[in-house]
A and B are shown apart, each in its own frame.
Chain A
Amino acid sequence: MITTDELQINIGPQHPSTHGVFRMLITVDGETVVNLEPVFGYLHRNHEQLAEVNTYLQNMPYTDRLDYFNSMANNHAYALAVEKLAGIEVPERAEYIRVLMVELTRILNHAGAVGFMINDMGAWQTPLAFGIREREKILDLFELVSGARMMCNYFRFGGVVRDLPDDFIPRLKKLMVAMPAYIDELERLLRENEILLARSEGIGILPREVAVSYGVTGPVLRGSGIAYDIRKAEPYSIYDRFDFDVPVGSVGDVYDRFLVRIEEMRQSRRILEQIIEQLPDASGGHINPKARQNVRPPVGDAYARIESPKGELGFYLVSDGSTKPYRYKVRAPSFINLTPLGDMCRGYKVADIVVILGSIDIVMGEVDR
């Protein structure tokens, strides 16, 4: 009789597919994972405490660095929170520009997330390279409006930094032509791919109940079959003006999350089309109120949340009437979505845990803050 022993392995903090500095302490029996303990905090940089010594506006560029893939979405959530706190109105055109940017962000995030997940599965970067190619085109647009590709710092309280340049909409329209072609091609490459099916079907099932009890949001929750999208459940900004569907999964495995992301890209493109149609012309009101540089909200607190590409991103602010927030709290989707990782991975193989981690789509900048 052969006696076998369980082996403890640290996957991370330095590991190719932990998406940053993240550690999974796994106990394996051969290749089967018996237990997994996520360990994070390696990228902690005192984000929330730092925010309390900065003025409201000074925090805006720091929110870029939370989830560095989706700086526009982070900006949006923070701007919404401060606007709620200080009671600032946003001009119509600025609202459209904001939603435009956030939906573009969603597309680029999902293009990257799908690519990275397939990369974790062992594809030699082709789906990722295709995703990055489309992402580059979107980043070019971001650079055009905000001056930076990733750390956009584009939103201001009551508007955005500057209006869209003249060649923005034509370039966006060109991009909209490429987008469905990209998504179709990605599906042709992967959707029915037997290797992908073998690697993703039935892997990392997150049952509906468990997902809800952990407070999971975003594509992970929708992959588990719950049609919960803050854009629909509690429309913020001008999301109640657009037609779009909420894709949900039926099994709650890695494959469902993959499919939900692909479908969300399509839906985002639908929203973009409607934005281009409805976008008010530049004559109606300013875009950047320069006076908003020193907000001094009244004493009180506010929580604003958006459906960020990764899930519910919320900012909770408490004001003591000064120019700096008294308390600043981020509800980061990556962090919350990461918590059920142990339950999702138990019983699967070592090779599966990186795929499951990839399917959650985390960014450590947001997890550790």
Chain B
Amino acid sequence: MSNDTLTHSLTFTEAPAALTVVVDPTPQIARGSAVVVERRRPKAAGWSLLQGLGVVVDHWRKSFRKLDDTTQIAGTFTTEYPEERLPLPEAYRNMPILLFDDATGHELCTSCFQCQRICPPQVIHMTQAKDPDTGKPVPAVSEFIIEYDACMSCGFCAEVCPFDAIKMDHNFELSTADHSSLTVHKTDLLRPISYYQSIAPTFWAEAEASAYKKLETNKKRRPATIGIAPQMLAQLKAAHELRDDQQEATMPTTAVASAPAPATSSAAPPARSAALAASASDLPTDKAARLAAIRARNEAKAAVQAAPATASAAPAASDGGDLPTDKAARLAAIRARNEAKKAAEQAAAAEAAPTLATPDMPPTDVQPAASEQAAPPAPTVPDASLDEKAARLAAIRARNEAKKADEQTAAAGAAPTLATPDVPPTDVPPATSEQAAPPAPAVPDAPLDEKAARLAAIRARNAAKKAAQAEGE
């Protein structure tokens, strides 16, 4: 096994004569020494070959056990990928995604451009949303594009985001034959917070408090539906249409219906999202059902609480004894109470055993509801899906009731002044708005309750306003 390599004349380039090598081959080394590696010789010809063969055969023998013990060096460690998957660590980062709030649908992103600025390959592009009326920028993003094909997954965007709006996804199965699909727009980037929570629970737990706090602040500065995740908006619109149909059936006077429109549209999303969140497919069904039921009940409760407040506030605002206001307020209160009762019943029914026979429902309400409820065939079993549907139904009904109450109030009170759809809230008499406000803090601080309370407050305020206007007439 010899070769004649040695006989080669070693033709290295000569080191330049001027160069003096000042490196000591065996210097004094602190905390250690220079050890010359030992060039071992095989003990007997061929023995080391057999030894090597032994190692390989030993591995072959041991490979029939499957191991995931990292202290071992023999055995099969293969994870057979599509069937088996390794758990990804929370820190795992693949491609960036945007987060939105499950409950309200509000995106966490405020388009502060931090991520766009830090992105090393500059693949993040965004446009800030503007208020359609005033043209002023709003802390929300109207379009957000990430070029996944050029993203290097460095994670800087998630690191710098002050609002915890952009996070690194764990989904690594992005391969596609369609290149253009890798330029991802906002709708496809958005994920609910609950999704991120499921992939990185401790990371989210750290960020949660400040993220929600900042979101609450920003939400107040977002008019209309700006800043709401488009996928939520679509569901929202569907709910809108449902409501409009019902309106047409009960109230043909569209002019009247348009009167409270601005107020409702800004107030509606939070309320509606209670139901929408339930239908959001990301949540487990039974959880969603329970959530919807709770929300419906809360909403009703808030309405109950808000209504007396308005009722008591209204007389004070309009120097007492003013009939239209009083009447409207009282009407609203009654409606709300009725509706609350119904909602409570409905919720109870939903939780006990969903029954179809709900004679106390107005026929317009039952029609779509019945068709929905007709589908579940086993009413005796409190099935999760049944629960969910029934609860959602209850919520929708409660909302409709409230809305109708509002509309009727408006119709009763504000019939002459039809063309005031864009009255800004500032026009409301200060006393009324002050008095309408209290119900909100009175309600428990959970965001759901708060929302419902705010809704009720806004409604009450609208009613009061109408009343005031009517009085002015």
Contacts and interface: CB of A to CB of B under 8 A. Distances in A.
B118 interface: yes
B49 A193 contact: yes
B20 to A, nearest CB: 10
B23 A143 contact: no
A335 interface: no
B174 interface: no
B36 interface: yes
Contacts of A247: 34-37
B42 A194 contact: yes
B152 A178 contact: no
Interface in A91-147: 126, 130, 133-134, 136-137, 140, 143-147
Nearest to A183: B73
A346 interface: yes
Interface stretch (B89-97, B104-112, B270-278): B89-97
Q: Which of A209, A227, A262, A343 has the most CB of B within 10 A?
A: A227
Which of under 10, 10 to 19, 20 to 34, or 35 or more describes the interface residues of A? 35 or more
Given A151-B153, A246-B34, A126 B56 contact: yes
Majority secondary structure of chain B interface residues (helix, strand, loop or mixed): loop
A208 B71 CA distance: 39
B249 interface: no
Given A62-B120, A148-B153, A213-B16, A347 B9 contact: yes
B93 A263 contact: no
A259 interface: yes
Interface string A326-358: 000000000000000001001110000000000
Q: Which of A59, A175, A250 has the most CB of B within 10 A?
A: A250
Interface residues of B, number: 65
B1 A194 contact: yes
B250 interface: no
Given A178-B70, A182-B73, A245 B33 contact: yes
A192 B35 contact: no
Contacts of A210: 12-13, 15
Nearest to A261: B37
Contact of B31 (A59, A192, A240, A250): A240
A208 B38 CA distance: 18
Interface string A305-326: 0000000000000000000000
B35 A248 contact: yes
Contact of A251 (B11, B39, B69): B39
B10 A205 contact: yes
Given A57-B118, A133-B77, A194-B49, A246 B33 contact: yes
Interface in B67-116: 69-73, 77, 88-93
B12 A207 contact: yes
Contacts of A130: 73
B120 A212 contact: no
A250 B39 contact: yes
A171 interface: yes
B8 interface: yes
B51 A203 contact: no
A188 B240 CA distance: 75
A214 to B, nearest CB: 9
Contacts of A293: 118, 159-160
Contacts of B90: 165
Interface of B: 1-3, 5-6, 8-13, 15-16, 19, 21, 23, 25-27, 29-43, 45-46, 48-49, 51-52, 54-56, 69-73, 77, 88-93, 118, 120, 152-156, 159-160, 168
15 contacts: A61-B120, A143-B89, A147-B91, A151-B152, A151-B154, A192-B43, A192-B48, A197-B42, A201-B39, A210-B13, A212-B23, A213-B21, A246-B33, A247-B37, A248-B35
Top 3 nearest A-B pairs by Cβ distance?
A: A227-B34, A61-B154, A192-B48
Given A188-B51, A198-B2, 17 more contacts: A59-B120, A144-B91, A145-B91, A148-B92, A191-B48, A192-B40, A192-B43, A193-B49, A193-B52, A194-B1, A208-B21, A209-B21, A213-B19, A227-B26, A245-B33, A247-B37, A346-B12
